[in-house]
Structure 1
Amino acid sequence: MAGLELLSDEQFRADGRRPNEIRRVRCKMGVFKQADGSAYLEQGDTKVLAAVYGPHEAKSGKNKPMHDQAIVNCQYSMAVFSTTERKQRPRGDRKSTEIGQNLKQTFESAILTHLYPKSQINIYIEILQADGSNLAASINAATLALVDAGIPMKGLVCCCSAGNVDDTPLIDLNHVEESQGDLKLTIAMLPLTEQILMLNMNGRLHEERLEKVMSSAKNGCKEILKDLSQAVRDQQLDLVTGS
């Protein structure tokens, strides 16, 4: 697909958004009573469930308990019905493992792990429907699940993808834009301090253009912060009112 088809002459994307617009975000916390924390998030047509267990005593295994901080474990998987391809998607495949590592890297930097020595925190992500920016949506959902579990963090972690079409940065990429664009970049950050916790990039781009794409992704994170903050406020209001 040519860049012209991803971005019209009037600077509209195929789904009607401007280049700097994120998709609609809908989210709810506390969707699983069995988990210590949980959240459901829709970012456009990408739909994610996140569950958090812990902190609890670290189990002996390949990850030995650490005397001065908690271990963060992350498992990412996609439901077999999450895409139009009806093929088996087993847990532990290469792509899922890679995304799980990105999640682990992000939240090891965000969680105040020193408060829970000799313990572990398990984060589980399930993609129910995939339409682009799966990693970003997973991190945003996991952030809400961790807040629901009452686990202290440096701040709300927000994540946004960005790409480049005809020298124009696009943020919060859908599946078509991910597949056909020149570049896919995903940034997880603490928007209030602008500390970058994770950066993942596929593709190549000139340094000057890359800076524009990164700046757009950061702005996307700040927009997503508004939605995640509202979800946290809604949950607190529900707790107060008992609804």
Structure 2
Amino acid sequence: MAGLELISDEGYRIDGRLPSELRRTRCRLGVFTQADGSAYLEQGNTKVLVAVYGPHEPSPNMRNQVLPDKALINCEYSQATFSTAERKNRPRGDRKGQELSMHIKQTFEASILTELYPRSQIDINIQVLQSDGSNYCVCVNAATLGLIDAGIALKDYTCACSVNVYRGFGIKDLNRVEESTNCPAIVASMLPKLNQMIYVEQNGRLHADEMADALLVVTSGCQDIFTLLDAAVQDHVRNLTTNVGRE
């Protein structure tokens, strides 16, 4: 897809968005009653479901990893077999999925106040129901909502965004087609209120000036995600309060 025009002469992307626009986002907290916390998030056509369990006593197979001064974060990532249209891209428990699981785990080890839960375990179970680009970012954003729903103490919201650099433009929140090009890209997660980056991955070469601009765009994208997630949490809390009041 090297020859694909990502931005038209009129300034629109292949899905009709402006370079600075996020995909349409829909989310809901508390989708499972059996889990301590749960959330569902759509960003465009990428759809992710998260269930959070804990803090609880470490499971038998994890006891050798238990930490005396903080919680052990266990992240399980999976992708539904029907999540992609292309047969060759269907997940088979490959290395990419394992790497995503590790990166998400490391992200939340940096954002959860793990010292408040010594000798315990927190499980973050993530399933991608439909994949259309920016899987890491959507999983992180959905997991943040699940952790908030579970009442897990966080330093801040953890928000993630992806950016392509195309002809000097920073393109936010990549879909699958944009992600598949050879354009340099950055994927990052941050704590928006603290203005602190906790994960950055660069794909492709960027000039120092382009890198600085791309980081500004990805930071702006994370802040946009924060606004959406915070609004969803506020709505969820209001609904809970209203329901309690009716009872």
Unaligned runs of 5+ in 1: none
Q: Distance in 1 between matches of 2:157 and 2:112?
A: 10
In the superposition, the TM-score normalised over structure 1's length comes to 0.95
Moved over 4 A (4+): none
* Partner Cα distance (1:156, 1:77) in 2: 23
Cα offset, 1:211, TM superposition: 1.3
Give the Cα–Cα distance (whole angstroms) in 2 for the partners of residues 9 and 181 of structure 1: 20
What is the aligned partner in structure 2 of residue 22 from structure 1?
22
Q: Is residue 91 of structure 2 the alignment partner of residue 86 of structure 1?
A: no
Q: CA deviation at 1:201?
A: 1.9
Partner SS, residue 10 of structure 1: coil
Counterpart position of 1:57:
57
Distance 1:4 1:116 in 2: 49
Give the match's secondary structure for 1:186.
strand
Identity of aligned residues (%): 51
How far residue 181 of structure 1 moved from its aligned partner, in angstroms, is 4.2
In the alignment, is the contact (CA less than 8 A) between 1:3 and 1:165 conserved in 2? no
- Structure 2 gaps of 5+ residues are none
CA contact (8 A) 1:165 1:181 kept: no
> What amino acid sits opposite 1:7 in the alignment?
I
Aligned residue for 2:180, secondary structure, equals helix
How far off its partner does 1:77 sit?
1.1
The whole-number CA distance in structure 2 between the counterparts of 1:20 and 1:47 is 21
Give the aligned residue type for 2:55. P
Rounded to whole Å, the distance in 2 between the matches of 1:99 and 1:184 is 17
Helix, strand or coil at the partner of 2:222:
helix
What corresponds to 2:242 in structure 1?
A: 241
1:4 deviation in Å?
6.2
Task: Kindly state the Cα deviation for residue 150 of structure 1 after the two structures are TM-superposed.
Answer: 0.3
Where 1:215 maps in the other structure, the secondary structure is helix
SS at match of 2:205: coil
Query: Within the alignment, does 1:185 sit opposite 2:186 as a pair?
Result: yes
Q: Does 1:9 align with 2:26?
A: no
CA distance in 2, matches of 1:78, 1:2: 27
Question: How many pairs does the alignment contain?
Answer: 242
- Structure 1 window deviating more from structure 2 (213-222 vs 81-90): it is 81-90
SS at match of 1:193: coil
AA aligned to 2:123 is N
Superposition deviation, residue 86 in structure 1: 3.2
SS in 2 for 1:180: coil
Amino acid at match of 2:9: D
Could you say which residue in structure 1 is the equivalent of 2:131? 130
| Matched position secondary structure for 1:73 | strand
- 1:133, 1:174 within 8 Å by CA — same for their partners in 2? yes
Q: How many Å separate the matches in 2 of 1:95 and 1:114?
A: 30
Q: RMSD value over aligned CA atoms?
A: 1.5
Q: Provide the residue aligned with 2:157 in structure 1.
A: 156
The 8 Å contact of residues 69 and 115 in structure 1, kept in 2 or not, is answered as: yes
- State the one-letter code of the partner of 2:15: D
